[in-house]
Amino acid sequence: MSDDKKLKEQMVKWRHHFHENPEIAFREVKTAAFLAGELRRMGLDVHEGIGKTGVVADLKVGNGNTVIGLRADMDAICLPETGTVSYQSRNEGVMHACGHDGHMATLLGAVKILSETRNFNGTVHCIFQPAEEPGRGSQAMIDDHLLMDYPMDEIYGLHNVPFIPAGEIHTRKSGIMASEDNFIIRIHGKGGHASSPHMGTDPLVIASQVILGLQTIVSRSANPLEPAVVSCTELLTDGAHNAIPSNVEIRGDTRSCSPGMQQLIEDRMRAISENSCQMYGAGCEFIYTHEFTPVVNWDACTETAINAAAAVVGPEHVNANCNPWMASEDFGIFLKYIPGCFVFLGSGVCEKAKDNIMVHNSDYDYNDEVLLTGAKFFATLIAQRIPA
d(CA 4, CA 9): 9
Q: How many CA atoms lie within 13 A of 126 on its CB side?
A: 35
Given the residues 132, 266, 330, 365, select the one marked as catalytic.
132
Count Cβ neighbours within 10 Å for each residue of 183-199 and write b for 16 or more, e otherwise: bebbbbbbbbeeeeeee
DSSP 84-106: --TT--SSTT-B--SSHHHHHHH
C-beta of residue 107 within 8 angstroms of C-beta of residue 121: no
Q: Which of 94, 69, 73, 255 is nearest to 159 (CA)?
A: 73
Given the residues 28, 38, 75, 202, select the one marked as catalytic.
75
d(CA 160, CA 343): 9
Active site residue 20: no
Active site residue 45: no
d(CA 75, CA 54): 10
- What's the CA angle centered on 197, arms 196 and 201, to 5 degrees? 140
Q: Which amino acids are annotated catalytic?
A: 75, 132
